[in-house]
């Protein structure tokens, strides 16, 4: 069972649940106060505006007991994925390196963009080819990634929409991955006008869990 963690202000949880279903995975939406470590095979922190982005995007959620439990699971090797606001939460919590700051140029962006897979050795990318380009939506105002040290880039923007250093769209540390684009919104051919390249991320997780 895969936990889709929901905080006040999370709005991408049902999109993630739908993507899991299309990939043949079982998931459930878990209210952050109800999350317990050791109960799930993988954890997804969905997108949205947790706590209304008070202080900084993801900062308040990062200080919750739920994220401390996610840290415990990550240390045990449980795959953890943060999408958009979920990525911001993981960065604020120190589970991923760097910082996510307001876009340059400033403002909220919402459109489909191409991203390139540069690392296919994570639980979420093993079915992609290195160098493969997929189209996914982005929807954020604070997605400019500023690295700390030499982060393990997994996805890079082909067309950088927000000023992220080195075009980085997603990074990993061990079994923890975060990205600003929304792969859960690029899974259904009926609504994904630019393809279903996001589905491979969920199928990769399914394959990893089988191993």
Q: Minimal CA–CA distance to 124: which of 150, 154, 88?
A: 154
**Beta strand pairing status for 109-117 and 133-140?**
antiparallel
Helix axes 199-210, 13-22, angle to 10 degrees: 60
Known catalytic residue at 140:
no
Give the active site residue among 21, 72, 84, 121: 84
Any idea what DSSP says for residue 129? P
CA angle (179, 183, 188) in 5-degree steps = 175
- The reply to whether omega before 41 is within 30° of 0 (cis) is no
CA dist., res. 55 & res. 198, Å (int): 31
Known catalytic residue at 207:
no
Give the active site residue among 69, 92, 142, 182: 182
Known catalytic residue at 132:
no
Give the active site residue among 92, 140, 142, 184: 184
- Catalytic residue ranges: 84, 182, 184
């Amino acid at each position: 069972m895969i936990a889709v963690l929901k905080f006040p202000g999370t709005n991408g949880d049902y999109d993630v649940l739908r993507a899991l279903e299309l990939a043949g995975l079982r998931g459930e939406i878990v209210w952050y106060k109800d999350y317990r470590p050791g109960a799930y095979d993988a954890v997804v922190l969905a997108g949205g505006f947790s706590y209304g982005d008070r202080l900084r995007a993801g900062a308040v959620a990062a200080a919750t007991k739920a994220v401390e439990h996610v840290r415990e699971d990550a240390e045990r090797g449980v795959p953890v994925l943060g999408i958009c606001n979920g990525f911001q939460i993981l960065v604020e919590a120190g589970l991923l390196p760097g910082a996510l700051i307001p876009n340059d140029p400033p403002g909220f962006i919402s459109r489909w963009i191409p991203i390139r897979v540069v690392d296919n050795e994570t639980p979420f990318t093993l079915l992609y080819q290195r160098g493969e380009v997929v189209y996914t939506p982005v929807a954020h105002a604070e997605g400019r990634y500023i690295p700390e040290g030499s982060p393990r880039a997994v996805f890079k923007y082909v067309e950088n929409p927000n000023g992220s250093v080195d075009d980085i769209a997603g990074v990993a540390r061990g079994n923890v991955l975060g990205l600003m684009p929304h792969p859960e919104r690029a899974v259904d051919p009926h609504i994904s006008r630019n393809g279903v390249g996001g589905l491979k991320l969920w199928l990769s997780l399914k394959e990893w869990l089988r191993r």
